[in-house]
């Protein structure tokens, strides 16, 4: 079990016993200091909007209230692709985890690959990474002066950049980070921050009960009575084998996994959802292996996974597109004895959710929704 997942078990209360209890007590002592600093910073921006720099094009933030995975990347992929296909040129601005300014991080490389290099006959997607998202936006405009709007990736707490709309994602099975801010829980800021949201998306909504959905909506409404709430699920659409580029349709149907014994592995902040999907799709579930988030894979990792898969009787190893971005560069991985497939997952919205998101984005860009 990775350090990240051990910490989550501690925060959630799943880890029992004297030492976990003492650990939670210690983290609770630090929590007020973090909350005070976050609240102080938010008050500064609330009082003085001029602290946030503006770009010459509209900005839509797609961010989180918590750390860990909320399924943000499939949502950004869907929104960027939908806007591009309607003729808009879209700039995606990201911090770029462990990436030098001007280079792309893991998710951004994956997004660009899955968006077909970012260009169609309709519109174009440009991606720039920099902790200074204002500088990234100006660089993107130098590359593509015809950008119509920007998507600020993971930008809810990046208040130094003005945005025209805040879209906030909450992971429906655990929307509020165990009810505590860091380091006692997973909240990046208190739940009151939802007052800044224009749209809230409950991701993986199919994994939450109707009762828990209602409870979550009631909590959201306490802090932002008029916000629009959209329900999303991550829908597996197929699998890609090693030789299939990420921007091409999945070449392996989901039904093929029903005939296989499968082991999955990933380097995700919250891998549970991915593992549940493989468990439900595989004919036989041979287990999983969890790496730290943003893990940099090596040839030794591949050999270890092959050995583990063989010991467990796995006929195929299944991972994510995000992980494949780094795996694909390793010599011999495409010809591994136990083939490595990756699951293609797309964002799907309940009811008129897709229309709400698209109409809001098009309106910020000064376009009608067609």
Tell whether residue 23 is among the known ligand binding residues.
Answer: no
CA distances in angstroms from 26 to 20, 37, 183, 274, 362, listed in the order given: 10, 18, 10, 31, 47
| Pick from 294, 274, 298, 295: nearest CA to 285 | 274
Specify burial of residue 26 (Cβ count, 10 A radius: 0-12, 13-18, 19+).
exposed
Tell whether residue 67 is among the known ligand binding residues.
Answer: yes
Q: How far is it, in rounded angstroms, from Cα 150 to Cα 127?
A: 10
The pairing of beta strand 199-203 with beta strand 125-129? unpaired
> Length of the chain in residues, anyone?
370
Tell whether residue 68 is among the known ligand binding residues.
Answer: yes
Tell whether residue 155 is among the known ligand binding residues.
Answer: no
CA distances in angstroms from 293 to 10, 68, 323, listed in the order given: 18, 9, 10
Q: How far is it, in rounded angstroms, from Cα 362 to Cα 337?
A: 47
Tell whether residue 66 is among the known ligand binding residues.
Answer: yes
Tell whether residue 237 is among the known ligand binding residues.
Answer: no
Which residues are part of a known binding site for ATP?
A: 66-73
Binding region: 66-73
């Amino acid at each position: 079990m990775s350090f990240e997942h051990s910490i989550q078990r501690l925060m959630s209360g799943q880890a029992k016993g004297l030492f976990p209890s003492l650990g939670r007590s210690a983290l609770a002592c630090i929590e007020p200091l973090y909350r005070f600093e976050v609240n102080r910073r938010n008050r500064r921006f609330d009082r003085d909007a001029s602290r946030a720099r503006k770009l010459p094009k509209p900005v839509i933030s797609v961010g989180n209230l918590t750390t860990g995975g909320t399924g943000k990347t499939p949502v950004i992929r869907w929104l960027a692709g939908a806007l591009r296909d309607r003729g808009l040129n879209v700039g995606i601005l990201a911090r770029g985890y462990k990436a030098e300014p001007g280079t792309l991080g893991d998710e951004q490389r994956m997004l660009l690959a899955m968006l077909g290099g970012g260009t169609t006959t309709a519109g174009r997607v440009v991606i720039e990474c920099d902790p200074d998202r204002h500088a990234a936006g100006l660089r993107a405009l130098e590359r593509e002066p015809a950008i119509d709007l920007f998507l600020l990736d993971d930008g809810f707490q990046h208040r130094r950049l003005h945005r025209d709309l805040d879209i906030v994602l909450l992971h429906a099975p655990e929307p509020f980070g165990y009810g505590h801010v860091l380091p006692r829980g997973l909240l990046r800021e208190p739940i009151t921050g939802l007052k800044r949201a224009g749209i809230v998306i409950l991701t993986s909504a199919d994994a939450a009960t109707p009762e828990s959905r209602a409870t979550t909506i009631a909590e959201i409404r306490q802090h932002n009575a008029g916000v629009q709430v959209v329900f999303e699920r991550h829908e597996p659409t197929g699998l890609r084998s090693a030789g299939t580029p990420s921007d091409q349709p999945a070449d392996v149907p989901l039904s093929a996994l029903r005939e296989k014994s499968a082991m999955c592995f990933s380097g995700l902040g919250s891998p549970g959802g991915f593992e549940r999907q493989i468990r439900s799709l595989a004919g036989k579930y041979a287990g999983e292996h969890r790496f730290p988030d943003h893990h940099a894979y090596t040839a030794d990792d591949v050999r270890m996974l092959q050995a583990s898969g063989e010991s467990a009787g796995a006929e195929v190893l299944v991972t994510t597109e995000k992980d494949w971005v780094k795996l694909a560069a390793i010599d011999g991985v495409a010809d591994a004895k136990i083939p490595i497939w990756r699951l293609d997952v797309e964002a799907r919205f309940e009811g008129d959710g897709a229309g709400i998101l698209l109409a809001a984005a098009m309106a910020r860009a000064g376009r009608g929704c067609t």
